[in-house]
Chain A
Amino acid sequence: VPAGGAATRPCSTRAALQGINKPVIDRIIRVDHAGEYGANRIYAGQMAVLGRSSVGPVIQQMWDQEKDHLKKFNELMVAYRVRPTVLLPFWNVAGFVLGAGSALLGKKGAMACTVAVEESISDHYNNQIRTLMEEDPEKYKELLQVIKQFRDDEWEHHDIGIEHDAEATPAYSVLKTAIQLGCKAAIFLSERI
């Protein structure tokens, strides 16, 4: 047992990597990392515009949770030796622009964006949970726990958005569909590139 606890991570990597379906886990962690990174940037964009408004604290709280999610995926990424998506710099800008843009439509607009994104993410996490359950629930227990927890958190954000009159946004369904299409494309690309 090594003396310094912090040094154990590279050692445990080899153990973590034994016998797992690397291509599948790679994709899952890469796309989830990209998703949380994008979500962070979206909330950052919304805060930039609406930070001082009445929904500021609500957005800040959701943003803080996303920061925790991102931190967890950073750890998983190192543990499983997964490469991040090349598109990160792009999601950096695109996320911020989406957040700020939706916030410029007003508080309801920002909430509508939140609802759309969080619904997409929850669906996506559910798909991943199904995939992992089909593979081997025992082997991927830790990962499954993490994804289930995060899916619940994202669905909570979705509900908060609904509570704050997201559906009252003008052109709500158009906005929602457009954003969800963008999310699907982002997921598709981040899994592969």
Chain B
Amino acid sequence: VRCQHYPPLRALQASAVLRGVSDEHKKEPFTSSSQQQFDPHPAGHQPEQEPQGPHPSYTGQGGQESEDYESEEQLQRRILTAALEFVPEHGWTAEAIAEGAKTLGLSVAAAGMFHSDGSELILHFVSECNAKLSELLEKEQKLVQLGEAEKKPTDEFLRDAVEARLRMLIPYIEKWPQALSVLLLPRNIPSSLSLLTSMIDDIWHYAGDQSTDFNWYTRRAVLTGIYNTTELVMLQDSSPDFEDTWRFLENRVADAMNMSNTASQVQSTGEAVVQGLMGAAVTVSNGGIECLS
């Protein structure tokens, strides 16, 4: 019986089991009964070389961790990153994860660590893309601060940031609709929503937003709308290099800018009208008083 959720094993044990064949630590004292949950398929796979990344040194059950200790989280991330290569072929599935694990010299049973619907893989991908976007925006900002680049006007900045982020989907675009539906599962909504909001907040932060009133919310809501609709358009787009999508994006951003200009125009017109009425009222009342006298 393959178990989807397993109690948090010490990474030592998990890594050791997954490696199927372990070299110098075969006599590692496994005391936990949770080993039964794994169906290790060593598949005769002898790792010719150590997998890349920190060389884990097992220091026993005592819990004293050496510097090369790789946490379970780090291991999972490595597997998921490796799995991304196989997504265009297998989709966001356990197969892709299994293939990824194989390239790292691990047993395909590694896929058992994750949900069969690929939730963790997709969330990992989204989080990686967001991190890449942040790095990109940070670099751009440094260039502007050093005077090596011009500061972009807001609409251009937003357009470029959203385009950069959406372009990261291109290699996986065929399978992206599947990913979106998984992200909308009730179980995943808190995480996917939080990833979305932090990405949008990042974009506005680097765009130079310093609002501390309700605008903080309206701006983010508007940009989220732009991002989501553009993403959906991109899924249907078959034009060369997605030019239709970028044109759609440009129009939506322009709409948003117009909306905010219109809003401030309406406000100043309104204020002018009120002042006019007040003036008229004063004139009338003065005229009335003069009539009486």
Residues of A within 8 A of B (CB): 2-4, 7-8, 10-11, 13-14, 33, 73-74, 77-78, 81, 83-84, 86, 88-89
9 contacts between A and B (CB under 8 A): A2-B146, A2-B147, A3-B147, A10-B141, A11-B142, A33-B212, A73-B212, A77-B212, A83-B217
Please name all residues of chain A whose beta carbon is closer than 8 Å to the beta carbon of B201 when the two chains form the complex. 81, 83
Instruction: Evaluate whether A74 and B206 lie within 8 angstroms (CB atoms) in the complex, with A7-B144, A11-B141 already known.
Output: no
Q: Which of B170-222 contact A (CB under 8 A)?
A: 201, 205-206, 208, 210, 212-214, 216-217
Do the beta carbons of B141 and A84 come within 8 Å of each other? no
Do the beta carbons of A84 and B205 come within 8 Å of each other? no
Q: How many B residues face the partner with a CB closer than 8 A? A: 17
Query: In the complex, A11 Cα to B216 Cα: how many Å?
Result: 20
Main secondary structure of the interface of B (DSSP, over half): helix
Query: By CB atoms of chain A within 10 A, which of B205, B212, B216, B217 has the most?
Result: B212
Instruction: Evaluate whether A11 and B145 lie within 8 angstroms (CB atoms) in the complex, with A81-B201, A81-B205, A86-B217 already known.
Output: yes
How many A-B residue pairs lie within 8 Å, measured between CB atoms?
Answer: 38
Q: Which residue of A lies closest to B147 (CB)?
A: A3
A23 to chain B, nearest CB (A): 13
A192 to chain B, nearest CB (A): 15
A137 to chain B, nearest CB (A): 27
Query: In the complex, A2 Cα to B146 Cα: how many Å?
Result: 5
Query: In the complex, A74 Cα to B212 Cα: how many Å?
Result: 6
Please name all residues of chain A whose beta carbon is closer than 8 Å to the beta carbon of B217 when the two chains form the complex. 83, 86
Please name all residues of chain B whose beta carbon is closer than 8 Å to the beta carbon of A73 when the two chains form the complex. 212
Closest 5 CB pairs of A and B: A2-B145, A74-B212, A78-B210, A77-B212, A7-B145
B88 to chain A, nearest CB (A): 34
Do the beta carbons of A78 and B206 come within 8 Å of each other? no
Q: Which of B138, B208, B216 contacts A83 (CB 8 A)?
A: B216
A65 to chain B, nearest CB (A): 19
Please name all residues of chain A whose beta carbon is closer than 8 Å to the beta carbon of B145 when the two chains form the complex. 2, 4, 7-8, 11
Q: Which of B146, B210, B214 contacts A89 (CB 8 A)?
A: B214
Query: In the complex, A10 Cα to B208 Cα: how many Å?
Result: 8
Query: In the complex, A84 Cα to B201 Cα: how many Å?
Result: 13
A76 to chain B, nearest CB (A): 10
Query: In the complex, A128 Cα to B281 Cα: how many Å?
Result: 51
Instruction: Evaluate whether A88 and B144 lie within 8 angstroms (CB atoms) in the complex, with A81-B201, A81-B205 already known.
Output: no
Do the beta carbons of B212 and A10 come within 8 Å of each other? no
Please name all residues of chain B whose beta carbon is closer than 8 Å to the beta carbon of A2 when the two chains form the complex. 145-147
Query: In the complex, A74 Cα to B206 Cα: how many Å?
Result: 17
Query: In the complex, A78 Cα to B144 Cα: how many Å?
Result: 19
Q: Which residue of A lies closest to B217 (CB)?
A: A86
B62 to chain A, nearest CB (A): 29
